Amino acid sequence: MNRTAAEEEKTYEQLSPFELKDKLIEMAENRSEKLMLNAGRGNPNWVATNPRHAFFLLGNFAMEEAYRVMSRPGLAGAPVSTGSADRLREFCLIHNETRGAQFLIDSLKHVTEVMKLNEDEFIGEMVDAILGDHYPTPDRVLVNTEKIVKAYLDVTMCDSRPPEGEMDIFLTEGGTAAMTYIFNTLQENHLVKKGDKIAIGTPIFTPYLEIPLLNDFELVVVDVEQNEDKDWQYTDAEINKLADPDIKAFFLVNPSNPSSVSIAEESLQKIADLVSTKRKDLILLTDDVYGTFVNGFRSLAAIAPRNTILVYSYSKYFGATGWRLGAIGISKDNVMDEMIASLPVQLKKELHDRYVTISRDPDSIKLIDRLVADSRTVALNHTAGLSTPQQVMMVLFSLQELLDLESRLYRKEVQDIVKERYNSLYSSLGEEVVELSCYAKYYTTIDIHNLALKRYGTEFAKWLKDNHEPIDFVWRLAKEKDVVLMDGGGFAAPEMSVRVSLANLNQEDYSKIGKSISDLLQDYMEEWKAAN
């Protein structure tokens, strides 16, 4: 390997793979003879249509509602909810050939007949929210919105088998905001403090590796590793690490990123048994954004609700990364609230003083509401909350799934898209197409060292590892083949592995990517033969 190139690569190895990606894109774009294929970032190239049609039509209806109250040059009034449901039905009848009209009628029928919500209160909430003319009230989540989001999470995160009891929801500006708020509030409330041990399920979305090490937190990380040779599942030995009483929390992504595999029910149950016996104080933070890509998926929030903080984002399933729609769910009956109540007197006084300006009984504020307050530095708690038009979009996305429970047509289409791309990638790579019921197929991780060993033998694989920087494969893939992939090592996956997003390119592009990976590995092989 050219030493100058190696030295340059070393300067990039400490970067997050999301930052390294920008350099890879730059190198690929500098070659004009081919079209660059960027399967790095996992932004889907589809959008859910029915909820969006309904959203924009609902906006037109909301404006008519506003003009009913006041009509002056350039302005209208704040709508009233009385009679709004009947007026929406009439509006949709007039616009019955407009896309989104039937979806709104079906949605109204579902929330009134199935969920038993008051129709005028629901439509009034949606109209006021889509106009965005009031602060979010309640600030944590709008009243009817919470019920609909909760119903969606029961179906998608709990496989329609939710645990007993209720879950509180806090809507956030995407899953990343949820992560930020949770890390901050756990520390502010002394549930996790500097120097504490936390366990992280690896490989994992890079920020979960980076955030704990920041000066803000200074946590000690214990890896709980998925086993590549066992379909990326956690072995019993890895799960048993969580029995260590010094470990305060276990952070995981399920289905995983980048390996894209959901945790087996057996392993979930072992974790649930652990927190119900030996580790009743262990906090579980599970990021389940890819759960809808696995049929029968169940979150830890469904199996160990008292210990679990659920993070979910609507971004990937509905093609809505730009909407920034996330949710935090915590069971009303949870161990975190008990742990806060059991803190030493001095720490409880500190927290009393922190939240005293927002409650007459600050000691009894639940963790979910502390998250809301901390998201606006407590003092600005009265202006907290996700923007109300975003909450409407979240409701309509939720109703897309709730209206489709029998046929599951939308879910099937989305899952088929990534499955077809997965098959194209591995077929062109010349590798077996593995079918696993727990495999989300939103991403896939290809271990280049294992591929080298399998195709060309031990000596070549050793030479590849010993003579090249870990990011050399993704570097050369961008520079020589115009293909941009994520470095798997940046996710704590095996070194010189690559993460391929199966969400953001067309099916034929994945055939080209698979061939490019094979061709580059062959190029290395030719170099090895020339050197020997």
pLDDT of the residue at 33: 46
Q: Whole-number mean pLDDT of the chain?
A: 93
Confidence category of residue 14, pLDDT binned at 50, 70, 90: low
Compute the CA torsion angle 152, 155, 158, 163 (nearest 10 deg). 80
3-state secondary structure 453-477: HHHHCHHHHHHHHHCCCCCHHHHHH
Interacting residues of 4 by C-beta distance below 8 A, sequence separation 6+: none
Statement: 143-402 belongs to CATH 2.40.340.10: no
Please report, as a single letter, which amino acid is at residue 326.
G
Fold for domain 3-42+409-531? Aspartate Aminotransferase, domain 1 (3.90.1150)
Residue 6 has pLDDT above 80, yes or no: no
More confident residue, 19 or 418: 418
Write out pLDDT tens, residues 371-416.
999 999 999 999 999 999 999 999 999 999 999 999 999 999 999 9
CATH class, 49-131 region: mainly alpha
| Model confidence band, residue 16 (pLDDT cutoffs 50, 70, 90) | low
pLDDT at 215 over 90: no
- Provide the pLDDT for residue 434: 84
d(CA 394, CA 313): 10
What is the reported pLDDT for 205?
86
3-state SS, residue 66: helix
State how far the Cα of 401 lies from the Cα of 403, in Å rounded to an integer. 5
Is 17 within 8 Å of 491 (Cβ atoms)? yes
Q: Which long-range contacts does 222-231 make (Cβ < 8 Å, 24+ apart)?
A: 222/197, 222/198, 222/247, 223/199, 223/492, 224/199, 224/200, 224/250, 224/252, 225/201, 225/492, 226/201, 226/202, 226/256, 226/259, 226/261, 228/259, 228/447, 228/450, 228/494, 231/261, 231/436, 231/438, 231/439
Q: What's the burial of 436, exposed, middle or buried (CB within 10 Å: 0-12/13-18/19+)?
A: middle
Q: Would you say 438 and 264 are in contact if contact means Cβ atoms under 8 Å apart? A: yes
- pLDDT tens-digit profile of 275-331? 999 999 999 999 999 999 999 999 999 999 999 999 999 999 999 999 999 999 999
Greater confidence (24 vs 272) lies with: 272
> What integer pLDDT is reported at residue 216 of this predicted model?
87
Give the residue-averaged pLDDT of 466-488: 91
Residues 74-104: tens digit of each pLDDT: 999 999 999 999 999 999 999 999 999 999 9
Confidence bin at 13 (pLDDT 50/70/90): low
**Domain ranges within the chain, ordered by starting residue:** 3-42+409-531, 49-131, 143-402
